[in-house]
Amino acid sequence: MKKYTESLQIAIEELSKLPGIGQKSAQRLVFYLLKLNKDEVQKLSDSLIAIKEKIKYCSRCHNISESDLCDICSDPGRDQSIICVVEEASDIIAFEKTGEYHGLYHVLGGALSPLDGIGPNDLTIQELLNRMIDGVKEIIIATNPDTEGEATALYLYKLITPYDVTITRIARGIPIGTDLEYMDELTLTRAMEGRLPFK
């Protein structure tokens, strides 16, 4: 005897393809959706289709957008002389939540990973270099602090060095509220190397 009807099984399989959603979570979501009225499910369905139809990538920085330029690139109040380079568009949201950064961004679309077949031509590195002639004074490299992110940062550093810009890297260290005794050696080493004057 089958566990579920065919339509339920298909819905569970499709939802379980989402990151962080396993079979059990997908099953819970499907049974939750069954409890909603048809209009609510239709609204969810329409919003997912709208994402695919309306969302595109900014022609300048490759952030997600519904127009040719994203809200950040088209904002005249942003500092045009600073570009923060991130791996994914979702990283921009994290920086924007702080309210502290007022420059521009550039989304690489991932990180260098030869084992996964991702090389420089698979990222928007050339597009970043093309932006260097627009009065850019500083490039902030904000790739993830993992092996791929570090390799990407080093690669970018070597490419950008010939340009007349300041190259900086976001600081890495110990999260607030964490005990030092639980920190790994690499995190402590990076925190020590990136120490700043006391303010």
What confidence tens digit (pLDDT) does each residue in 137-161 have?
999 999 998 889 999 999 999 999 9
pLDDT above 70 (res 107): yes
Residue that the structure tokens 């005990």 belong to? 179
Residues 110 and 183 in one domain: yes
Residues 140 and 187 in one domain: yes
Residues 100 and 43 in one domain: no
- Token digits of residue 27: 């099953």
pLDDT above 70 (res 199): no
Give phi and psi for 93, each to the nearest 5: -60, -40
Structural domains in the chain (count)? 2
Give phi and psi for 166, each to the nearest 5: -85, 135
DSSP H/E element including 39: helix 38-54
- Whether 99 is in a domain gets the answer yes
- Whether 19 is in a domain gets the answer yes
- CATH number (domain holding residue 135): 3.40.1360.10
Exposed / middle / buried, residue 154 (Cβ in 10 Å: 0-12, 13-18, 19+) = middle
Residues 129 and 164 in one domain: yes
- List the domain range (segments joined by +) for residue 28: 6-54
Residues 48 and 143 in one domain: no
Alpha-carbon span 190 to 195, nearest angstrom: 9
pLDDT above 90 (res 129): yes
Reported as a single tens digit per residue, the pLDDT across 165-176 is 999 998 877 777
Residues 111 and 32 in one domain: no
Residues 87 and 184 in one domain: yes
Residues 46 and 93 in one domain: no
- Residue with the larger pLDDT of the pair 18 and 188: 18
Report the pLDDT value the prediction gives residue 196, as an integer from 0 to 100: 67
- Whether 160 is in a domain gets the answer yes
Residues 100 and 136 in one domain: yes
pLDDT band at 2 (very low <50, low <70, confident <90, very high): low
- Percent of the residues in the chain that have a pLDDT greater than 70, as a whole number: 96
Residues 177 and 111 in one domain: yes
Length of the chain equals: 199
Give phi and psi for 140, each to the nearest 5: -100, 120
